[in-house]
């Protein structure tokens, strides 16, 4: 990342995805911070995409994230809802397009089958254990969720508890959550 650019995408939010055998859940906190000031406590950083077949959450600049969500929805339409294919195509554009490569955001997206982390570096990462997190509180939420998976089997319960733990230790994360869920076909 260019040293003259802001580190905003990785500062000020927590997004967590947890998958179990029945569903996938993406949870995001609601805090919007500018420096040391909380500007808004209840932002909605998690939403449905692709007619509800995909859910996603973002960390970073809001306008940039909405641009990426719109592009991802367009790719989903073009590729018949195939999340992996749409995500790879978005990552290619994001990395090579002069306008898109300046966007400061990261995304976690999921459908019934896969969970992915998308970055402006062209990364399309699929976590091996069904848990993914981004944002300044992401590592706290990720560690908590991974520990909780041994004791709790419900993805939503894991996500809510892990996000609560992240909110307790990360000053850029609060406990006002938006949670979206997709049930599996099993």
Question: Domain containing 30 — which CATH number?
Answer: 3.60.20.10
The predicted model scores a pTM of 0.90
Q: How far apart are CA 147 and CA 158, in angstroms?
A: 9
Domain count, the chain: 1
pLDDT at 63: 80
Cβ atoms of 109 and 87 within 8 Å: the answer is yes
Residue 163 lies in a domain: yes
DSSP E strands in 36-177: the ranges are 37-40, 46-49, 54-60, 105-110, 115-118, 124-125, 131-135
With tokens 């733990």, the residue in question is 165
Residue 61 lies in a domain: yes
Is residue 5 scored above 60 in pLDDT?
no
- Per-residue pLDDT of 81-130, as tens digits, reads 999 999 999 988 888 877 776 777 889 999 999 999 998 788 899 998 99
Tokens of 173: 């994360």
Is residue 8 scored above 60 in pLDDT?
no
Neighbours of 142 (CB within 10 A): 22
Residue 1 lies in a domain: no
Catalytic residue positions?
Answer: 13
Nearest to 176 by CA among 162, 161, 164, 159: 164
State how beta strands 115-118 and 32-34 pair: unpaired
Residue 74 lies in a domain: yes
Number of C-alpha atoms within 13 angstroms, CB side, residue 122? 5
Give residue 41's domain range.
8-183
Q: What is the mean pLDDT of the chain?
A: 88
Residue 69 lies in a domain: yes
Residue 103 lies in a domain: yes
Residue 28 lies in a domain: yes
Residue 3 lies in a domain: no
DSSP E strands in the chain: the ranges are 14-19, 23-28, 32-34, 37-40, 46-49, 54-60, 105-110, 115-118, 124-125, 131-135, 178-183
- Per-residue pLDDT of 161-178, as tens digits, reads 999 999 999 998 999 999
Cβ atoms of 152 and 132 within 8 Å: the answer is no
């Amino acid at each position: 990342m260019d040293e003259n650019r802001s580190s905003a995408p990785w500062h000020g939010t927590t997004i967590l995805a947890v998958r179990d055998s029945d569903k996938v859940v993406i949870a995001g906190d609601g805090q919007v911070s500018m420096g040391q000031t909380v500007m808004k406590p209840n932002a909605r950083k998690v939403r449905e995409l692709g007619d509800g077949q995909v859910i996603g959450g973002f960390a970073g600049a809001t306008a940039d994230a909405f641009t990426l969500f719109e592009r991802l929805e367009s790719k989903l339409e073009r590729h018949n809802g195939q999340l992996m294919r749409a995500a790879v195509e978005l990552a290619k554009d994001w990395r090579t397009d002069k306008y898109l490569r300046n966007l400061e955001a990261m995304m976690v997206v999921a459908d019934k089958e896969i969970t992915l982390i998308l970055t402006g570096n062209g990364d399309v990462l699929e976590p091996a254990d069904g848990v993914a997190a981004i944002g300044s509180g992401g590592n706290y939420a990720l560690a908590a969720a991974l520990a909780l998976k041994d004791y709790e089997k419900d993805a939503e319960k894991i996500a809510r508890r892990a996000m609560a733990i992240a909110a307790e230790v990360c000053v850029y994360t609060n406990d006002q959550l938006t949670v979206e869920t997709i049930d599996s076909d099993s």
